Structure 1
Amino acid sequence: MSGVPGRAVVHVFAGQATDEGYLQYLREPPSAQVGRTEQVLESGGKRSHRQRRYLEDIDHEGDDLFMDYVAALFEQNELFGELIRKAGPSTPVPTCPGWTIQQLFRHVGRGHRWAAQIVRDRVTDYLDPRVVRDGKPPSDLDGAIEWLHGGARALVEAIADVGEDTPVWTFLGPRPAAWWVRRRLHEATVHRADAALALGVPYDLAAPLAADGITEWLDRLAAAQRNGDPAPLDTDAVLHLHATDGLGPAGEWMIRADKDGMSWEHEHGEGTTAVRGRAADLLLALLRRRSAADVSVQILGAQEVWTNWLNRTPL
């Protein structure tokens, strides 16, 4: 395989060539990350080394796009785990009503193993999460955190064993096995936000990764429309999302709806409503983790289009 360390990355998240880009940031020691993210881990250097060795050891044949997502999944999973270390298990999670930190943690960790089992067993129908192998974390904190990380590794290993392009079950219909890494990555980024907000600590996400989260979210919504879910936009409305981070086309989304459902494309144009802000803030506002006003996201044009969007899309 092509090792992630030491190569120039045409980065999937940015949609443009970068010199090492976001993955170089992931490889930096914590001292170099100060001021670039709120989540500087005291032991991050050691864990980053362990992650690199693990990535290098994966028996991987395929393009480097998959490995970019794997590296980001491992990093976001570790950041989520560090927040869990700081939280009391009974801490409420306001952005997931009725949940505690313990329930959020189990949801993420079991979700990784759920996806891994779907891939490894080539499941053809919905798998009840209650029957997932090793679906409960150990009672001690260190063991529980290792269980979380082990779930992400189990998913990557399952995909390596069956092949990235092997069709597997997903809630949107059959997809290549590698689809699950990107899905679990963005599950981790959003639930890390839930944990950070519950603890009252800052949250941020690299703009290219946040933009990819928006794209993945829109892809899932569009697929759900094709499967019969109601459209979040009226047919005469066009919603324009614009990330102000300088991402180029990867940071713009024109969203429309017609009789066949919702569609979107990366382009600049005039919509019924425009929503502008940093990619990380747009992601939080789209997923109703923060209000647009709270994160200084601008709503221009018809406010009701944005309101309808929020009312018609799931958390």
Structure 2
Amino acid sequence: MSPRWEPNPDICLGNHVVRNLHARLVFVTKYQREVFSDEILTRCQATMWDVRESFGAELRDFNGEGDHLHLLPCEDQRMETTDHVKSLTDAGHLLATAAEQAGPGASVPTCPGWQVRNLLRHTGMVHRWATAFVAEGHTSYHPDAGEPDLDSGELLDWFREGHGLLVNALESASADLECWTFLPAPSPLAFWARRQAHETTIHRVDAESARGGPVSPVAAGQALDGIDELLRGFHARPKSRVRTDAPRTLRVRTTDTGDAWAVRLSSEPPQAVRESEADAHRAGSGDCELSGTAEGIYLTLWNRLPLTAVTVTGDRGLARLWCENSGVTWS
């Protein structure tokens, strides 16, 4: 008689089986035939991107050649929607406080040409624009309502009201909300909570830079999520101006969390892949590497800190290319 099987208490069962799962999958063609052209690899990557969204997974790596391709799916470690809403709430309050202390006419060093009044009008307009999608369920693009002709105390009151409306809309929205979005996300609700949390956090840094004095810290988890959104969301779009004539690789590595991204640059939109845990600890790979704390990398990639805030190894021209062409503008 075979011995009775007993469950191992050290192995998680049920839904927890997939937690932190990394599974490298390799597909090889029969007889090593060259069938994976660049076009087919691009189509496969797009298909796998859609599949991983359906399962709430993350595609850490995808590449291949004529007779094979391999990919590394794993658990998606993005922040929860409730965490993003809390970050949005806190960042909005800090932004308003810093703006009030700085005064509407103060220059914003991190946004050349802007004063605090421009910052409040822009961020408040974006908040109301986002609120309309969440609260009214628009399933196609709707333009913003423009910036108000307000100033001083009236402008601050208007900003605080709009921020509160956005937070309330996200907190009360149904998990199955359907509305327009413009970046991949597990759901429209997750998209808008994430996008507005980072929008407001970056502009909170702007307000605090205008006020002067210490800048409130960004938690490592939020910074990592923001790096991922910027690299694999914004700059995966055709709008990205970060291009090179010849293929190059810009590597981004966070020294305090052990995470890394390989950003493949060419004449096409950048392709960023998040590296496996084992690969992320390697230093110095790629044509250029930016390394530093998650917060430092996050703010540097968003051009809120200079390149001197992080460590640059390899071709510094590639790092400067990022700074000069990576700006995300309102359009």
Partner residue, 1:87: 102
The one-letter code of the counterpart of 1:307 is R
The one-letter code of the counterpart of 1:101 is V
Partner residue, 1:100: 115
1:285 to 300, 324, 327: 300
Partner residue, 1:178: 190
1:265 to 266, 273, 289: 273
1:201 to 196, 199, 213: 213
Partner residue, 1:3: none
In 1, the alpha carbon distance for the partners of 2:202 and 2:143 equals 23
Q: Report if aligned partners of 1:115, 1:155 keep a CA contact under 8 Å in 2.
A: no
Compared CA separation, residues 103 and 182, structure 1 to 2 (3 A): same
The Cα offsets for residues 205-262 of structure 1, whole Å up to 9 and x where unpaired, read as 122211211111112234313xx644445552111111121x13xx321111357632
The Cα offsets for residues 38-59 of structure 1, whole Å up to 9 and x where unpaired, read as xxxxxxxxxxxxxxxxxxxxxx
In 2, the alpha carbon distance for the partners of 1:180 and 1:190 equals 15
Partner residue, 1:26: none
Q: Report if aligned partners of 2:170, 2:189 keep a CA contact under 8 Å in 1.
A: no
The Cα offsets for residues 128-180 of structure 1, whole Å up to 9 and x where unpaired, read as 32269x997994477346414413324314xx44x334342234489623301
Partner residue, 1:110: 125
Compared CA separation, residues 149 and 116, structure 1 to 2 (3 A): closer
In 1, the alpha carbon distance for the partners of 2:327 and 2:289 equals 20
The one-letter code of the counterpart of 1:239 is L
Compared CA separation, residues 288 and 229, structure 1 to 2 (3 A): closer
The one-letter code of the counterpart of 2:270 is M
Partner residue, 2:253: 242
Secondary structure of 2:80's aligned partner? helix
Compared CA separation, residues 232 and 193, structure 1 to 2 (3 A): farther
Q: Report if aligned partners of 1:232, 1:313 keep a CA contact under 8 Å in 2.
A: no
In 2, the alpha carbon distance for the partners of 1:135 and 1:66 equals 33
The Cα offsets for residues 64-113 of structure 1, whole Å up to 9 and x where unpaired, read as 92212112211122221221221211111132232211121122222112
The one-letter code of the counterpart of 1:209 is Q
Q: Does 2:314 correspond to 1:301?
A: yes
Residue correspondence of structure 1 range 1-315 to structure 2 within 5 A: 65-130=80-145, 139-140=153-154, 143-144=157-158, 146-157=160-171, 160-161=172-173, 163-172=174-183, 176-203=188-215, 204-225=217-238, 229-233=240-244, 235-245=246-256, 247-248=257-258, 251-257=259-265, 261-267=269-275, 268=280, 269=282, 270-293=285-308, 295=309, 297-315=310-328
Compared CA separation, residues 64 and 187, structure 1 to 2 (3 A): closer
Compared CA separation, residues 233 and 177, structure 1 to 2 (3 A): farther
The one-letter code of the counterpart of 1:91 is A
Compared CA separation, residues 75 and 229, structure 1 to 2 (3 A): closer
TM-score computed with the length of structure 2 as normaliser: 0.64
In terms of mean alpha carbon deviation, does 276-285 or 119-128 score higher?
119-128
Q: Report if aligned partners of 1:69, 1:181 keep a CA contact under 8 Å in 2.
A: yes
The one-letter code of the counterpart of 1:150 is G
In 2, the alpha carbon distance for the partners of 1:164 and 1:137 equals 37
| Percent of pairs with identical residues | 31
In 1, the alpha carbon distance for the partners of 2:260 and 2:152 equals 43
Secondary structure of 1:74's aligned partner? helix
Q: Report if aligned partners of 2:141, 2:180 keep a CA contact under 8 Å in 1.
A: yes
